[in-house]
Amino acid sequence: MLIKLFLAVSLSVSVASCFAESDGNKSKLLIDPSQQKRLSTDGSQQKQSLQPNASTENTDSQSSQNSNQGNKPSMIEYCRNHPC
């Protein structure tokens, strides 16, 4: 009986330490979930309603990318000599 009890306790301790170690290896989060302002993610309707906005964002992104074109040599050289 005592042997069974000892084995049960040993197993519990080893499992607990295993979980504790895996937690210890995890890095801290940049933004804690309690500090995040999330857009509601429930349902496909929400996703569909976001599509027009999403395409607008793509257009904005593309235009900003285009405005940056043509500065390759100067920007690489600049960013090697300044923090950027």
Residues that bind other proteins (CB under 8 A): 25-32, 35-39, 41, 46-47, 50, 54, 57, 60-61, 64-65, 67-72, 75-76, 79-84
CA nearest neighbour of 68 among 84, 52, 51: 84
Nearer of residues 4 and 80 to other proteins, judged by Cβ: 80
Rounded to a whole number of angstroms, the minimum distance from the CB of residue 20 to other proteins is 15
Nearer of residues 8 and 75 to other proteins, judged by Cβ: 75
Instruction: Using CA atoms of 27, 33, 38, 40 in order, give the dihedral in degrees to the nearest 10.
Output: 110
| Residue 73, amino acid | P
